[in-house]
Structure 1
Amino acid sequence: MPLPAEIPIRTGRMKLPSGNVFWHEGGKSQAETVIFLHGSWQDSTQWLPAMQCLAPQYHCLAPDLLGFGESWREGKAYSVAFQVEALHSWLSALRIHRFRLVGHSLGAWVAGQYALTYPDQVQSLTVLAPEGVNDRALRGRWQRDRWLVAPWSPLPLMLPWLGNAAWVKALRARHRCLRQSPAACKTLFQRRTAAINGELLHQGLGQLWLPTLVLEAATADSVTHQLTHAWLRLLPDPQYRELTAADTPLGVDEQEFAAAIDQLKLPDLPFQVRKVPPAPPRSTVP
């Protein structure tokens, strides 16, 4: 989506002790601030269409998490806690101390942990396709990806010799995707299981009493649906919105997404965020 010249999107870079942060920024600094955190296989450009919708009313900032996009980090270890502290250092350097926080996928996990670690700074939390929780029906869902990126695994070496069956082509495509985001792989797959489980948000989400909006694409796959409703069960008072699916970086209609965020501030608009209804989970992929 091209960005109109009348609402320019700026970029910035900052050196931190833990690395170098790159970000996109739009809107006036005097306006209410919204921070956007991208997903596992994305970078800050994922948010440009949504920022274009919100920049006339909000001060929008979308950083590349350290190790993603144009942000680089010192050292090799990655964790959700590391991203939270890097984000806090960056915001402190910019003197931004109150803001709305929006996260997609891995960014939602970081956003949730940030809200728990620094609750006085976060005015509201909005998540889409959120990671950071586990569900009984989804146990073992990362095993294939672990095998695809583990340095000791023979699977990547075997991929060229497995033929052209549909499942082999899917494995090759997934392997290419994983190789393009080494920071996400190190965070999600290449750590000890105990370390990853120790950062899950199960107990913490029940303590988030700030306004929290959980968004879901109308055609979300079964895994994303299961994760979304796990968040909804764990949060004390969530709001829920199903959005029209679209071929966009977020997988949803960008204008609906922006309206959902704005609705948290302006509840008297015709669009109404509704409480999540009880819904049986869809079937999941083992």
Structure 2
Amino acid sequence: MSTATRPPRADEPDLDAEREVDIGRYLDALVARWWLPLVGLIVGVAFGYLLALGGKQVYRAHATVYVGTPYGPSGNVALQTLATNPNTVSRVVHGEETIKRVAAASGMPPRELRSGISIQVVKSSGVAKTAPNQLYIVSVKGSRRAEVSAATTGIAQRVVDVVGGYANVKIKSFRAQLASDERQLTTLDREVTALSGEIGRGLSAGERLALLAVSEQRRGTLEQDRLQTLQLLAVSEQVELPQIIDRGAATKTTARSTRNSAAIAALIGLVLGILAALFWEPVATRMGRT
């Protein structure tokens, strides 16, 4: 048994046609009164900008932190440490221990400090995406200039102290090695002087030459070791050791972001302008009837 499709009755409304008519009417209204969305957009931008400028004045300071690139003892192989973990800086900066220490040292209330901290990663151009981040900008916002500056420096120093443990141990070791080389070279100079003086006179020429040759060989080994240690120390101090590059002073700013306020107000103004264009004719018609 076949089921025949019932043709639409003449008195039934055509919904598709009505939808097309509504959409066309809305588009015609927008085209006819295109200036209303434009005016709403412009007024929104101006209002948002003025609102941001008229907001509460606060202070903001920035500090640029270099977390270092750790290498192995030989200085050839990069290592995975706290400095190379992308989450380390964020955890340290927002950690409760950091908040308590910095708040106590700077005088800034912990609640204000906690809400005013932000960090930004400085991406290096031409570096692979898998490479660890090395530069971070630590920012603090607050109501008092001196406290904001002190808190920013304190947080940046806290990051340097936490991630710089490995580099500091290496630097201490290299400096101890240099001191040992210097002592041995000083002792060697005394021995050579003694061989050339009274002690050496009791030895034959061959014995003195043999001892001097041994001393010079030791000197060469010590000098080579000293030079290598100096190079490794330079790498540790200049490349591996975290440091604060820029200790920015606090400057006055607004509590609201000018860009964000203008963008949000512009969007609201645009939406209101579109609604005004769509409902202009119906409202005007109704008011004319009354």
TM-score by length of 1: 0.20
Structure with more helix by fraction:
2
Say which structure, 1 or 2, has more relative contact order (CA 8 Å, 6+ apart).
2
More strand by share: 1
Specify the structure having the higher radius of gyration (Cα): 2
